[in-house]
Amino acid sequence: MTKLKTGALIASIIGTQAAADMQYSLPFNETNEFSKIGIEWANAVSAATNGEITFEPVANSALVTIPETLDAIQGSVVPAAMGVASAMAGTIPAFGYLELNLSVPVNNPLTEEAMPQIFPDVEKLLAPHDAKALWIMPAFGGGLACTSEILESVEEWSGKKVRTAGRWQAKQMEAAGASPVSLPASDIYPALQNGTIDCALISGSIYLSNSLYEVAPYFSDYGFAGNMLITLVGADVWDDMTDEQKKIVTDLSNETTVKGTKQLREVSVQEAENIKAKATYHKVTDEELANLLQTWDPVYQEAMGEVTDELGKHLVDTLYAFGR
């Protein structure tokens, strides 16, 4: 691995800026929409800097696993990575709030308008960990995939065994009367198939890519948005860039926060159309979504209460104040 500071040292010796090739860890495969946006950003950086700054995407968590991303950046194990906010919650408590479904606004304001507003807090929260945040984007398009029926109202969740991802999603299910079941992603299909669970709280992309419509042919689309993918580099990597390079990377990253978020929203709409073709599909009404938010409000409040640092509180207070 060629680190940027090595390139800077060579440049100081020969009097020109040497090219720096840095591996960029992606948590998903190259066909995943998150990865595609990351690869597009890396290509744009390379082109705009004439190859002086080159991020080499490495997919499928081949360099570092999702839970280890922040430690790997901080320890200079990898120079750049796309991390998952909720996986950093043990270190940055405010990021735990992002695990909640609908923790990120969808329409009020539009998500792509909200992301630049919260980015400064995300950036500042990561800075003490020797990590420089470059751009962010949330996940879209969640719902309930069930084995035997469409769930049109929150009341119908009562007593259902629902697979969830993480502590706060489990609390959301409990607040709605469902029984949360923690399972690794690889076990969702057989669990639905053999009746271990009745439903899975799932994104449209995972529902389609894992053929869950074969065992859970009823999909209630709640349009969940939440969590956050954060592209970050080590503080040493950032410090070794010239001011001109920093400006180029910053400008492209700011553009990607907005463009990438909008692109993911559009993809989620396309995924909904694909789900309609493969499953019994129901789009939840605005009234029912408002009912769900009211049901979940104590969980949002509880999650906010666990954030005690001022910067973290500012982030979660801002997110909570947004409409959904």
Assign residue 193 the CATH number of its domain.
Answer: 3.40.190.170
Q: What average pLDDT does the segment 203-224 reach?
A: 93
- Give residue 184's pLDDT: 85
What is the DSSP-derived secondary structure letter of residue 35? H
| pLDDT interval class at 21 (50, 70, 90) | confident
- Give residue 174's pLDDT: 97
| Number of structural domains the chain divides into | 1
DSSP string, 263-311: HHHHHHHHHHHHHHHHSEEEEPPHHHHHHHHHHHHHHHHHHHHT--SHH
Tens-digit pLDDT profile for residues 276-293:
999 999 999 989 999 999
Q: Are 135 and 128 in contact (CB under 8 A)?
A: no
- Give residue 165's pLDDT: 82
Residue 19 pLDDT exceeds 50: no
Residue 127 pLDDT exceeds 60: yes
- Give residue 205's pLDDT: 84
Determine which of 221-230, 297-306, 311-320 has the lowest per-residue pLDDT on average: 221-230
Q: SS3 sequence, 157-198?
A: HCCCEEEECCHHHHHHHHHCCCEEEECCHHHHHHHHHHCCCC
The sign one gets for the Cα dihedral 48, 53, 54, 55 is negative
Report which residue type is found at 310: E
- Domain interval for residue 256: 4-321
Consecutive H or E run containing 221: strand 218-234
The rounded percent of the chain whose pLDDT value lies above 70 is 94
